Structure 1
Amino acid sequence: MWWHLRLLPVLALVILIQACTTIRLEPLPDGMTDQPPASWNARARQVSGFNQWRLTGKLAVRQPSDSGTALINHWIQSGESYDLALSSSFLGMGSTLLKGRPDYMELTLPGGDTYRSSDPEALVTAATGWQLPLKSLSWWIRGLPAPDGNARLLFNAQQQLALIRQSGWEIRYDRWKRFLPDLPALPARITAVKGEKRVRMVVAQWESLEDRP
C-alpha cells in the first residue's frame, strides 16, 4: 500500500496541470458558429490588401464619464497612417483633426491648439474624454481582427461575420453593404463594446484611393 501513498502527490500534480491547461470558452450565442465559411480566407486576404481608402460617416461614443456623437467628415487611411476629421458639438464647434500612425498622433482641436503624443489613445482620452481603441479600429472597420492580439470570430447563419472578440472588446457587425464593385461587402455599421464603453460607427460611403496618383 505504500506505493499508493507515493503516487498520491503525482496524481494531484497531474490533476492540477490538467485544470490549469483547460481553456473555458464562453458559450456561443444562438445561431452563431466559430467555424468560418469556406470563402473567409479569400475574403480576409482581399480586404487586408485594401489599405488605401477614404470613408465618411458618423461616430457615437457612450461611456460612464461622458457621451457624444461626431460626424466623420473624412477618414483617410494609407497603410498604417491615418487622417481623421471629426466635427461635433461635444468636441466644440468646428473640426477636430487626428493624424498619425499606431505609435504617434497629432491632434488639433477646433481652437487650433495642437498636441502630439506617442500614445494616441491616451491623447484622445485626455483631449476629448473619449476612450477609443484606435490601434484596432482600422482593422475592425474592415471586418478583420487586428493582427496584434488573439481574436475569436463568430459567424451568423448567413455565413457573415457577426462578432469579433479581441483585447477585451466585442465588435458587433450590425450591417454590411457592397460599397465597391471590386471588393466584397464591407461593414456599414459596427458597435464595439467593452464593459460600459460603447463605440458605434456608421459608414455612409467607402472610397478606394489605390488608383489615385
Structure 2
Amino acid sequence: MATGARLVTALILLALLQACTTIQLEPLPEGMTDQPPPGWADRTRQLSRFDQWELSGKLAVRQPTDSGTALINHWIQDGEAYDLALSSSFLGMGSTSLKGVPGFIELTLPNGDSYRSSEPEELVEAATGWQLPIDNLVWWIRGLPAPGGDFRLLFDEQNQLAIIRQAGWEIRYDRWQDFLADYPELPARITALKGEKRVRMVIGQWHDLEKDQ
C-alpha cells in the first residue's frame, strides 16, 4: 500500500475511534428498565383519551430564588382547555387563576388584574416567580409524555412508570393510586426536577367529568 493511502486509512481509523469514544450511553438507574411492560400501549391510549377531569391537591415549588406552597383548589381539564385555581399566601399570591390551552394562557391575580400570553411558562414566572411547565404538566400529571418532543421512560421492578425525562425535566412518580374504577392507577404524587428547580404535586382526588355529562 502506498504511503499516502496508508496515511488516509490511518486517519479514517483514528476518526472512527474518536467518534466511538464520544458516544456515552447513560447507565440506567439500578432496578429500572426502559423497556415498556406488557399492556403499556393500551394504557397510554386509555389515559390519552382521559381528557375531561378534575383534580385537587397541593403544589410545592422550590428554586434557588424562592420557594413556596399552594393549594390546588381545582384543576379542571376539558380537552385541551384547562382551568387551574391556586391559593397561597406565598408572595401575596392569594387566589390565582390560570386558564388556557396549549400555547396560550390567561392569568388572573387576586386583585383582579388579568394577563394573557402565548408563552404560558414565561407569564407564570413573571407573575408569580414560579417556573411551572404548565403545557407539559397536563400530560405528565396523567403519567404520559407530552406530545411533540423527545422523551425517555423508565420503569421500576413492579413494571410501574417511575420516571419521564423530557424537555430538560425529570418527572418522578413517587406514588400511584386507584382513584377511578374505569382507569388504571393515576399519579398521587409526582416530583418534577430541572437543575435546582423542583415542582412537587400531591393529588388528593381525581374526578372523571365525562361521567357527569
> Same fold, TM exceeding 0.5?
yes
Q: Distance in 2 between matches of 1:211 and 1:162?
A: 29
In the alignment, is the contact (CA less than 8 A) between 2:57 and 2:203 conserved in 1? yes
- TM-score, reference length from structure 2: 0.93
Q: Number of residue pairs matched?
A: 211
Corresponding residue for residue 35 of structure 1: 35
- TM-score, reference length from structure 1: 0.93
Corresponding residue for residue 4 of structure 1: 6
Corresponding residue for residue 64 of structure 2: 64
1:147 positional shift:
1.1
In the alignment, is the contact (CA less than 8 A) between 2:93 and 2:128 conserved in 1? no
Q: How does 1:90-109 map to 2 (within 5 A)?
A: 90-92=90-92, 94-109=94-109
Corresponding residue for residue 173 of structure 1: 173
Corresponding residue for residue 85 of structure 1: 85
Corresponding residue for residue 146 of structure 2: 146
For the residue of structure 1 that corresponds to 2:163, the secondary structure is strand
| CA RMSD, 1 decimal | 1.6
Deviation by residue 1:57-100 (Cα, 9 ceiling, x = unmatched): 00000000111000000001111110000000015264100001
Please list every run of 5 or more consecutive structure 2 residues that lacks an aligned counterpart in the other structure.
none
Please list every run of 5 or more consecutive structure 1 residues that lacks an aligned counterpart in the other structure.
none
1:17 positional shift:
5.2
Corresponding residue for residue 156 of structure 1: 156
